Amino acid sequence: MQWHATSLDEIFRTLNSSPKGLSNEEANQRLLQYGKNIIESEKKVNPLKIFLRQFSDFLVLILIAAAIISFVMSLLPNGEGHAIDAILITAILFANAIIGFFQEYKAERSILALKKLAAPLARVLRNGKEKKIKAELLVPGDIIVLEQGDKVPADARIIEQANLQADESMLTGESLPISKKECTLKEETPLAERKNMLYMNTLITRGRARAIVVATGIHTEVGKIAEQIAETEEKPTPFQLELNRLGKSIGIAIILIIAFVALTQYLIIKDSLIEIFLRAVSLAVAAVPEGLPAIVTIALTMGIKRMAKKNALARTLPVAESLGSVNVICTDKTGTLTENIMTVREIFFNMERYNVTGEGYSTNGEFYKRSQKIDGRALSPILKCGILCNDAVEYKEGSKVKYLGDPTEIALLLSAKKAGIDVEIERKKEQRVQEIPFSSERKMMSVVCIAGSSKKVYVKGAPEVVIERCNRILVNGKIIDMDKSTKETILKANLDMAKRALRVLAFAFKEIEDIKNEEEFERNLIFLGLQGMIDPPRAGVKEAVADCRKAGIKVIMVTGDNIETAKAIGKELGFKTDYAINSPILEKMSDKELKEVLEKTEIFARVTPTQKVRILEALQAKGKIVAMTGDGVNDAPALKKADVGIAMGIRGTDVAKETSDLILLDDNFVTIRDAIEEGRGIFDNIRKFVNYLLSSNLAEVLVVFLFTLMEVYLYFGEKAVILTAAQLLWINLLTDGLPAVALGLDPKAKGLMERGPRPKTEGVINKRIAFSIVSIGLVMTVIILGLFVYSFFNLQGGIQERFLRAQTIAFTCFVVFELVRVQMVRARYRINLFSNKWLWSAVFASLLMQLTILYTPLNTFFRIMPLSIYDWFLISAGALIFLFLGYLIVKAESKIFGDKDGTL
């Protein structure tokens, strides 16, 4: 049924209820019929599912295949080395899965902790008597009782109300409380304008009411959105797609290596087919970067921890990097760009304008008259009227001061406190004895206060209403008549404030003799002035939006608020306001027209949840990677469909948090900027260690492969192998281990947020990184093979001793060249040589481990020998040549590929 468009009598008949409510027996029967008034969360924290998810990446599947092949080969004669390889790969896979599991499980548990543990209660009429029950036990037909501060427990139609206002921002996006009333509306009335309805999870900010429950659980407006979310498929993050692409590229490369090595050996070496196959597969397994998934996981985990310190809770590991690829942010206004706290910014008093500073609930603020700082107590008459004609209260919760009441009335309390006025003392001095409450029809509120023998009426309300009831004005402490010219000046000031999207209230007072004569209370008032307030931009947001634009990220404001307020805030924050679009215009646009206007439009106002999803889909159809913010239940479908869904941690609903990828614990846009910067830094570091690992593995493969070809023309002894399986494993342990992990902890490059976003189709390995991997790998191969051949043919000793020494030199070169290779990889990011203490600790630890196996009995296990000073001289000379050629590679890279991404 269209409950808002149905008469109350019809609703009572349909639901078989009455103003006295249901009986306990009837309520119990309906509970069985309709079910509990809860919305089951679609997502449960399933530890096994989270653990198994760690094995789903294509790169991990390649390693599983490599482990199986290594295990099978270990069963063949002389396959002991492959057994070690299989054990190592399996250990790395499980270590990677455990790290990823604990990080994601912890994030899911954090979301559960954000929910309120206490079950909400509802006041309901049962058997004609008021009682408190668990909100989950409400059923259609129940009569609920609500007052200021209550959360609405179910969808309900208002029966009676007094000065009722509700905050529906979580459902409609409207930033200000909505006045409610008993009436019957037209069927086509949109959700945000249904003044006779109350909706589940919205908040009563003023007044009291009785209402009949018309929908519970999944049948509420919140429930309908929850169903829509459940129907939306889970999407992989951009980085998950990228890792799968990378895994497939490595897989294809490995297959090509097997094919090329096998073909070459068959044509040149003439080995048996089984020998050729085993050697080719062994080489391919050596080419697999075993540590890559674990290092990616560690880098993402460390990035997530850094984000958490900046108030951003990432729910899954890949989200940490996905943020770095975002090129459009669709952000809500209320609470994300703004404080979500109404603040008095301007006062018109003594026929002059005054500006007020300060943020949020802080009582620190200054008063200015034409840029000149003044004592706020000079405005005491209007400020005192604002706190006396006011129902908002302050209270203490532990050591914190909190406020309860209408947001505009809280703003009036704070403006007075900034002037040093003690609210509690003033309210004791002039005690309220009578009130004519605010209503949407009267548009004003009046109170009678008594201080000794003095009796005064204080009035606040809509300027046009209050001004009409004034015939005098207080100017510089004197009461003078209000003439036509004065009235026009006041109305002009009001219009000017309103044009700047300030919410304006007028204030007046007068002394009275008889407190019983209510008809005289609001006549012939003395005008005091105006106070203009707005939900102001958060500190730092303007700079954060500018930083995002500098980084090539388009920022679009998508709000449920009215267009004038959106434009006013947008103007302050540097948004283009010329092409702002509101809901009715957007509704008439075709998909093609919407795509066109998205090129120039930066503000969408009065947007419905469906329109939010439509804007998102239009951007994604244009190839954009979109981050979407939201806090309400209405935002959940868009959050789930976005490439990165960002929910608010403070004012966000549980549904929004559960469907998001990232939760802002401080609800601040600045945190999004910081998280994007962190994401870009993570991607840079992933590129660094992919470059580092693959260049090393490429060099290993090429050295082993080319050596087998050299054996055709040069004699190195019987069954000579330049690098044994154990030596290859050791090199991988040292290079894929601590140094690669430490690269993931590299600091962010300078100018990171001055680069444009990388193209959606560009992976971890782009042309530039591929050039770097191949060139570094080739140079390493040539130098190491050159040193091996030189050592074998020029050093003294028998053929076996010379081979062993040359083999040990080649083996040690791989480890020593780390020092050079690490900085070659980092050089293009303009990072200081000693900016990462963990990296150099890891490199020197690797060198120490290498020295340990060279000069201890362990050298017999690895079939190597201690090196002489001359051997170290050769290795050092090779490292210097590598350093020089590496410098030329970086310069050539810069010339070939330019400086588009802000690196060398």
CA count, 13 A, side-chain hemisphere, 584: 3
Burial 691-729 (b: 16+ CB within 10 A, else e): bbbbbbbbbbbbbbbebbebbeeeebeeebbbbebbbbb
- Please give the Cα distance from 860 to 846 (Å, whole number): 19
Sequence length of the chain is 904
SS3 (DSSP) at 1: coil
What are the φ/ψ torsions at residue 655 (nearest 5 degrees)? -65, -45
Cβ-contact 792, 275 below 8 angstroms: no
The single residue listed with the structure tokens 């190592």 is: 88
Q: Which residues pair with 197 in a beta bridge?
A: 157
Nearest to 737 by CA among 698, 774, 684, 696: 696
Instruction: Establish whether 561 is a catalytic residue.
Output: no
Q: What is the DSSP string of 407-437?
A: HHHHHHHHHHHHTT--HHHHHHHSEEEEEE-
Name residue 114's amino acid: L
Report how far residue 137's alpha carbon sits from residue 154's, in angstroms, rounded to the nearest whole number.
Answer: 11
**Of 27, 291, 264, the residue nearest 143 (C-alpha):** 27
Return the closest-CA partner of residue 863 out of 798, 791, 792, 811.
811
Catalytic residue among 57, 85, 150, 332: 332
800 phi, psi to nearest 5 deg: -70, -40
For the chain, counts of helices (H) and of strands (E): 31, 28
Q: Cα separation of 570 and 51, whole Å?
A: 44
Decide: helix, strand or coil at residue 129.
strand
In 3D, which of 195, 213, 194, 203 has the Cα closest to residue 148?
Answer: 203
Joined together, the tokens standing for residue 239 give: 């980085």
**C-alpha span between 299 and 297 (Å, rounded):** 5
Q: Where are the alpha helices (DSSP H) in 719-766?
A: 725-736, 738-743
Side chain identity at 575, as an amino acid letter?
Answer: F
Query: How far is the C-alpha of 715 from the C-alpha of 799, rounded, in Å?
Result: 10
CA distance 817 to 802: 22
Rg value, the chain, Cα:
36
Backbone angles phi, psi at 478, to 5 degrees: -115, 140
Query: 205 to each of 150, 202, 667, how far by Cα in Å?
Result: 8, 10, 21
In single-letter form, the type of residue at position 574 comes to G
SS3 state of residue 387: helix
Calpha distance 665→312 (Å, rounded)? 6
Q: What is the maximum alpha-carbon separation in the chain? A: 123
Cα–Cα distance measured from residue 223 to residue 171, given in angstroms and rounded to the nearest whole number: 11
C-alpha to C-alpha distances, 846 to 161, 164, 561, 841, 852, nearest whole angstrom:
75, 71, 59, 9, 10
Q: Which amino acid is at 555?
A: V
Q: How far is Cα 716 from Cα 538, in angstroms, rounded to an integer?
A: 73
- HSE of 663, CA atoms in CB hemisphere, 13 A: 25
Contact 638, 645 (CB under 8 A): yes
Question: Annotated catalytic sites, by residue?
Answer: 332
